[in-house]
A = this chain, B = another copy of it.
Amino acid sequence: MKDTATDGSAADGTGSALGRRPTIYDIADRLNLNPSTVSRALSKPGRVNAATVDRIRAVAAEMGYRVNPLARALPTGMSGTFGIVLPDITNPVHFELIRAAEHVARANGFTIVISESAGSAQNEREIIEKLQASVDGLLVIASRLASEELRALADVKPIVGANHAAPELPSVSPDLRPGLEQAMNHLHQLGHKRVAYVGASSVQINTARWDILAELAAERGMSIVEITAAAPTVQAGADVLGRVRASGVTAVFAYNDLVAHGLLRAARAAGVPVPSAFSVVGFDDIFSAELAVPSLTTLRSPLGEIGQRAMDILIDPDANRVASNTVLPLQLVVRESTAPPPAG
Contact = CB atoms under 8 A, between A and B. Distances in A.
Interface string A87-128: 011101001101100100010000111111000000000000
Please list the 5 inter-chain residue pairs (A to B) with the smallest Cβ-Cβ separation, ordered nearest first. A293-B293, A288-B288, A90-B95, A113-B113, A68-B133
Contacts of A131: 111
A163 interface: no
Nearest to A292: B291
A92 B89 contact: no
Nearest to A296: B291
A115 B112 contact: yes
Contacts of A92: 92, 95, 287
Contacts of A74: 70-71, 74
A148 to B, nearest CB: 14
A71 B74 CA distance: 6
Nearest to A130: B66
A173 interface: no
Contact of A129 (B66, B71, B115, B234): B66
B116 A99 contact: yes
B66 A261 contact: no
Contacts of A68: 133-134
9 contacts: A21-B133, A70-B79, A92-B95, A106-B116, A112-B115, A113-B114, A114-B114, A288-B288, A288-B291
A234 B287 contact: yes
Interface residues of A, number: 43
Interface string A76-88: 0001010000001
Contacts of A66: 129-130, 133
A92 B95 CA distance: 9
A69 B114 contact: no
A233 to B, nearest CB: 9
Contacts of A69: 130, 133-134
A145 interface: no
A111 B130 CA distance: 10
Contacts of A96: 90
A290 interface: yes
A111 B115 contact: yes
A264 B292 CA distance: 11
A133 B70 contact: yes
A129 B61 CA distance: 13
Interface string A252-274: 00000000010011000000000
Given A261-B291, A287-B288, A288-B291, 5 more contacts: A99-B116, A106-B115, A106-B116, A114-B114, A292-B292
B79 A89 contact: no
A99 B89 contact: yes
A113 B134 CA distance: 12
B292 A134 contact: no
Contacts of A81: 113
A308 to B, nearest CB: 14
